[in-house]
Amino acid sequence: MAGLCEGRVVIVTGAGRGLGRAHALAFAAEGAKVVVNDLGVALDGRAAADGPAQLVVREIRKLGGEAVAHGGDIATSAGADSLVETAVDTFGRLDTLVNNAGFLRDRMLVNLDEDDWDAVVRVHLKGHFLPLRAAAAWWRAQAKAGRRVAARVVNTSSGAGLLGSVGQGNYSAAKAGILGMTLVAAAEMGRYGVQVNAIAPAARTRMTEQAFAQTMAAPEEGGFDAMAPQNVSPLVVWLGSEASAGVTGRVFEAEGGRITVMEGWRPGPTADRGARWTASEAGEATLKLLAAAEAPLPVYGAR
């Protein structure tokens, strides 16, 4: 029986380890041809000696799939453009882009260096934008040439982007920005046959293993490992397939066996006097509105 993504060409960034590796293997298992992107950097984004992308390509090929490695920096225009070119030159097309690459440099805001802010925002937010732009340009050209496009983009945000996370101001800001960009891209690119969604996954990876080591017990032998990155991949594969037709501009949390549709900002209690408030009047009205509003969910790590 044909896989859910049979014949589709899929790019996964940051696919050398963790969630990205799990996604790449899952897409290949469903019949996709995969471009495995990974710069091979350490957890904090600095140069590392190994090349994990090629290892994942070997895994896929050993299992009978098709894959090619890409080691470029997708937070540069040249790297993002060459990523799309690799897919098209190797496999003749591009159908799905999974933006996943990222790293951490955690600090409290008062101790956060400007370079650490720039580096994290660059790889997460710019590293989503540039591959998205390059892929969108190719899909738009295909649509304008009269060719059918059923393209999919899956962006990777985080609970930190939804709620904030103490000690991760740079990461939280970048992940929140990805959500905003997802909504805009879905609205702008639908006319070309492109659907854009985002996930906020929770899984044990290099970025999260220390946090989970402190809060989560290891699974019993033979039991369900709720924090395994492979648990997130089925949703990503479905969103990246034609089976998800009509689903766009949405955000999903995925953890273990749980999938949640996130509903985002919506208007709550409101007051309109039809004229300008004084500061005191505005404050009094605001306190009444807050009393009628739902309390916000807590920031991760807040006491």
In a domain, 291, yes or no: no
Query: Which residue stretches of the chain are H helix?
Result: 18-29, 52-62, 77-91, 114-121, 127-144, 159-163, 169-189, 209-215, 233-239, 279-292
Q: How many domains does the chain have?
A: 1
Alpha carbon 41 to chain centroid, angstroms: 18
Q: Is the pLDDT of residue 107 over 50?
A: yes
Q: Is the pLDDT of residue 214 over 50?
A: no
Positions marked active-site: 158, 171, 175
Q: Provide the residue range defining the domain that includes 172.
A: 9-262
Q: What is the layout of strands, in order, in the sheet containing 151-156?
A: 66-70, 33-37, 9-12, 96-98, 151-156, 194-202, 251-255, 258-262
In a domain, 296, yes or no: no
CA distance 229 to 165: 20
Separation of first and last alpha carbons in the chain: 51
In a domain, 283, yes or no: no
In a domain, 279, yes or no: no
Tokens of 92: 């003749």
C-alpha distances in Å from residue 261, one per residue of 29, 45, 139, 199, 251: 26, 31, 27, 9, 6
Tokens of 276: 């300008």
In a domain, 267, yes or no: no
Q: What is the mean pLDDT of the chain?
A: 91
Q: What is the pLDDT of residues 123-160, one digit of tens each?
A: 999 999 999 999 999 999 999 999 999 999 999 999 99
Lowest mean pLDDT among 68-72, 123-127, 202-206, 218-222: 218-222
In a domain, 272, yes or no: no
Tokens of 264: 């985002």
Q: Is 204 helix (H, G, I), strand (E, B) or coil?
A: coil
In a domain, 216, yes or no: yes
Q: Are 188 and 145 in contact (CB under 8 A)?
A: no
Q: How many helices (H) and strands (E) does the chain have?
A: 10, 8
CA distance 41 to 20: 14
In a domain, 147, yes or no: yes
Query: What's 232's domain CATH number?
Result: 3.40.50.720
Q: What is the pLDDT of residues 161-210, one digit of tens each?
A: 999 999 999 999 999 999 999 999 999 999 999 999 999 999 785 554 44
CA distance 190 to 194: 5
Q: What is the pLDDT of residues 13-58, one digit of tens each?
A: 999 999 999 999 999 999 999 999 998 755 544 545 457 999 999 9
Count, residues in the chain: 303
